[in-house]
Structure 1
Amino acid sequence: MLLTQVLAVSRTVAATRSRREKVRALSELLAVADTHDVETVVAWLSGELSSGRIGVGWRTIEDTRTAAAATPTLTVAGVARILDEIAAESGPGSVARRRELLTELFAAATESEQRFIVQLISGDLRQGALEGVMTEAIAAAAHVPHDVVRRAFMVVGRLPVTAAVALRSGAPGLEALRMEVGTPVRPMLASPAKSLDDAMRELGPDVTVEYKFDGARIQVHRAGSEVRIFTRSLREITGSVPELVSAVRELRCSSVVLDGETLALRDDGRPRPFQETMSRFGADAGELLLQPFFFDCLHVDGQDLLDSSLEERLDALERVAPDNRIPAVIRPGETGAHALLADALDSGHEGVMVKSLTSPYAAGRRGSAWRKVKPVHTLDLIVLGAEWGYGRRTGYLSNLHLGARDPHGGPPIMLGKTFKGLTDALLEWQTTEFPRHERTRDEHTVYLHPALVVEIAVDGVQVSSRYPGEVTLRFARVVRYRPDKSVEEADTIDAVRAMLVR
């Protein structure tokens, strides 16, 4: 398949907001794609490199771009091969070899193909082919029910693999896919609730209410004595958390997959700041001990529980990890729920989660079955840029430009600016880190590629004609950066607009 065919569909998908048109264009391309190109095409149209990060920065990209070719000759397989070679280069001479390969690729690409490749390498390819749209397209191309594709994606965790199986083996192949202990599944996500009463009213009496920790999400896999631990982004951290590995080996089972949180505690049992917990996952890991707390069980001793109700999964969790459960009460009623919220806040935690006991585990989806309740409302937003400070902040990147995620896959939507809550340490970090994500700059501002997520506390939102989303933030202040979250997990403009007082 020619790269120009993929470009044509990418442009079509980016140019329309119609979900039906996006699905149609994508499914028609997948239906005619060569079998060995399917995984690559799906990855690229989802805005990802099939080979992952390839070790090439913006300076290298700009230095290696050449005059464009006049006619399109590049194939999907040929471009994928070169990108794989670039990613595989390491050791002495690797920088020069990467530049040589990239120059070769650009020389064979037309102007539009060069732009596509640059956006793909930089992670800036946003064309609206979101996961929901892509799963529908895969289903249409393979002539299988959408629910079958979505279920397979849930257990496999990768759209390209799901697409390849669908187009090769149809519904029987997809239905044969099962959760594998050791292979992470995408975590189920929660939606914010306006209040505890609203959450309880919406979900009814058959709920569990549990502490909401300010920790790091973990997914734990154990098969015999082999343990693997993953973050919410499915990055493996097993080697950096030996105390968690030891704790999991002590659980009362032979195989298990658990969902939970980990955090560092003070001597009095109260949680340490989120940044201290996250420091254990960085290059300069400290010596703080992490504690595991679990709230869900997805598999135990050969039995998959994804489709079981939460109540059944909690029974399994109680059997295998009774000493490591997050504090929770089942069917607490209104009085009990408010008492648990008060206990959670008194213990130094963020708030509570309210979860339907009848809900299955909807991996990778943010639905209404899980609701989070926090007294202070926060939004996870994307940093679009930062202005150079003045006064005591002269020389530092300070005032942040904040954006919400476009649910249709377009560029982030600007909401406003803030410098409130920025400590001296954060100012120094921003000034060092932001240029690594620089898209462009002018005299006053450094504009960034969408890569960094920051948690912002707000007193609400209000209508504004100044910004493209027609809303802006009230009294926004920085709480912390979220290195554990990708921009795909940032809050959408729809979530922000839902906060308007009507």
Structure 2
Amino acid sequence: MKYALLASVCASLESTTKRLEKTALLSALLGKTSSQDLPAVILLVRGKVFPPWDERKIGVAEQLVIRAIAAGTGHSLPLIQEQWKKTGDLGDAASFLMQSRQQQTLFTEELSLNEVYLTLRKLAAVEGPGSVDIKVNLIAKLLTAASPDEARYIVRTVLEEMRVGIGEGTLRDAIVWAFLPQVAGLFDEYLEPVRQETSLDTVHGLVSVPRDARIIAPDEKTARSIYTALVDAVQHAYDMVNDFGTVAQVVQKKGLKGLEEVQLEIGKPIKVMLFKKAKDMEDALTTVGKPAALEFKYDGFRMQIHKKGSQVMLFTRNLEQVTAQFPDVVAAVNSNTKANTCILDGEVVGFDPKTKRYLPFQSISQRIRRRHNIMHMAQEFPVELTLFDIMYHNGIQLLDTPFSQRREILSSSVIPENYKIVLAQQCNANTLEEADAFYQKARDAGQEGVMAKKLDAPYKPG
């Protein structure tokens, strides 16, 4: 695929604020994309070259991009900065200046999507002496061969600010439109008509409908329930792997049946399960029912742990990989968990190494961004890993397993050791009095409060 096609679609996406128009434009692009190129297209259209959980980052500042624009166009740094000030967008400034560039390359081949994608990924690996010049040259080489539109989106991708208004919901719906059956009466004006029509009265049997078919439902309510089932199938697969590129490849090759087969993968973090805030304990028990599983709510930061053999990967709530910053947690997981493969959910809590008193989150927050003197930081600001859920255990996915059973599996998989790795303190409360007493116990221990969970609840990512 030529990068010009992606740039053209991005320009069209940027020109409209209507979500359905954006969905139609993006679905048309995905429909033209080979399986091999789908991951790159899906990342690039959102101004990325790595998925959110990948520890690699482009890491290029605006001033370096300005130097690359100067090298690629022959224009002076002051002129570029002046144009940037006028437009407020360095990508727009690059696009404008490309129209009057002083640097011209004869017989330049059109940029391919893969060339842009792989070159921008190289930026993350450039380190050490001379790295700035190497990065400038890599970007400048692309800009020299780029059209004004292509330059706009190359620069924005380098800065990871695409500005075309594509969120997760639009991307998910575009995958549905591109690779799953149409539903007659819904979005007809945005979709190309297909020849084959299939009548369907319910969502049952949907998996057997050819993906290039047009479903005829008896009424609008049924049509919308069928469409919702298609959207939910894509969303469920995305929840498993947090990677729309993988999801798009699966549905393009295997359709709806393939989506149902998507499983959690070690190394690909999922969005953690979130909880609603209750007004008081009575409100919490009304929401989850009795008996309720109550757990201390710890004043730390959320951590998702992936383990495969001796390899351990740690991710924050925002899916950022922080394995290198917490060698002490990696060691604790390796020494104190019995499972060969698992995905765990927990909280990292700091404590004073002298008094052993637990500390507020702010005391250890600096460890997340630390890149140097890591072992010293681990000794000065030690942490305890507190586990409260398990989503995957020795090859078995546990998302649909009731919470009470997941807790039992977690308990049997961990060897607790104070100030290293422990299980969240828990009790099953049958009455409001028991719940209030446990809440007070949490507060007396210096924790934020308690979490109330349904004993039969599945794990719902996000």
**Could you say whether these structures have the same fold, taking a TM-score greater than 0.5 normalized by the shorter chain as the test?**
yes
Find 1:358's aligned residue among 456, 459, 462.
Answer: 456
The alpha-carbon distance between structure 1 residues 121 and 194, as it changes in their structure 2 partners (threshold 3 A), is farther
Q: Distance in 2 between matches of 1:336 and 1:72?
A: 73
Q: Would you say the 8 A contact 1:69–1:107 is kept in 2?
A: no
Q: Which residue of 2 aligns with 1:59?
A: 63
Q: Which residue of 1 aligns with 2:82?
A: none
Find 1:184's aligned residue among 241, 266, 269.
Answer: 269
Post-superposition shift, 1:296?
Answer: 0.4
Post-superposition shift, 1:295?
Answer: 0.9
Higher relative contact order (CA 8 A, sep 6+): 2
Find 2:235's aligned residue among 141, 150, 166.
Answer: 150
The alpha-carbon distance between structure 1 residues 205 and 276, as it changes in their structure 2 partners (threshold 3 A), is same
Cα RMSD over matched residues?
A: 3.0
Q: Distance in 2 between matches of 1:122 and 1:170?
A: 35
Q: Secondary structure at the match of 1:80?
A: helix
Larger fraction in strand: 1
1:125-136 alignment runs, 5 A limit: 125-136=162-173
Count matched residues: 364
Q: Which residue of 2 aligns with 1:299?
A: 392
* Alignment partner of 1:68 is 2:128: no
Q: Would you say the 8 A contact 1:307–1:360 is kept in 2?
A: yes
1:203-242 alignment runs, 5 A limit: 203-205=288-290, 207-242=292-327
Find 2:445's aligned residue among 347, 356, 362.
Answer: 347
The alpha-carbon distance between structure 1 residues 142 and 59, as it changes in their structure 2 partners (threshold 3 A), is same
Q: Would you say the 8 A contact 2:351–2:384 is kept in 1?
A: yes
* Alignment partner of 1:277 is 2:345: no
Post-superposition shift, 1:260?
Answer: 0.2
Q: Would you say the 8 A contact 1:193–1:199 is kept in 2?
A: yes
Q: Would you say the 8 A contact 1:72–1:109 is kept in 2?
A: no
Post-superposition shift, 1:305?
Answer: 0.2
Post-superposition shift, 1:4?
Answer: 4.1
TM normalised by structure 1 equals 0.65
Q: Distance in 2 between matches of 1:18 and 1:193?
A: 36
Larger fraction in helix: 2
The alpha-carbon distance between structure 1 residues 86 and 269, as it changes in their structure 2 partners (threshold 3 A), is closer
Q: Secondary structure at the match of 2:98?
A: coil
The one-letter code matched in structure 2 to 1:94 is S
The alpha-carbon distance between structure 1 residues 17 and 318, as it changes in their structure 2 partners (threshold 3 A), is farther
Q: Would you say the 8 A contact 2:295–2:426 is kept in 1?
A: yes
Q: Would you say the 8 A contact 1:69–1:108 is kept in 2?
A: no
Q: Secondary structure at the match of 2:275?
A: strand
Post-superposition shift, 1:98?
Answer: 1.8
Q: Which residue of 2 aligns with 1:25?
A: 25
The one-letter code matched in structure 2 to 1:274 is F
The alpha-carbon distance between structure 1 residues 6 and 224, as it changes in their structure 2 partners (threshold 3 A), is closer
Q: Which residue of 2 aligns with 1:338?
A: 436
Higher mean C-alpha deviation, range 58-67 or range 223-232: 223-232
Q: Secondary structure at the match of 1:53?
A: coil
Q: Secondary structure at the match of 2:49?
A: coil
Structure exhibiting the larger radius of gyration computed from Cα positions: 2
- For structure 2, the 5+ residue unaligned runs are 74-96, 101-107, 181-210, 212-229, 417-421
The one-letter code matched in structure 2 to 1:255 is T
The one-letter code matched in structure 2 to 1:347 is A
- Over residues 106-158 of structure 1, what are the superposed CA-to-partner deviations in whole Å (9 max), with x where a residue is unaligned? 23333333332222221222433222321222122121633332222222222
Q: Secondary structure at the match of 2:460?
A: coil
TM normalised by structure 2 equals 0.70
Q: Would you say the 8 A contact 1:270–1:347 is kept in 2?
A: no
Q: Would you say the 8 A contact 2:46–2:166 is kept in 1?
A: yes
Q: Which residue of 1 aligns with 2:206?
A: none
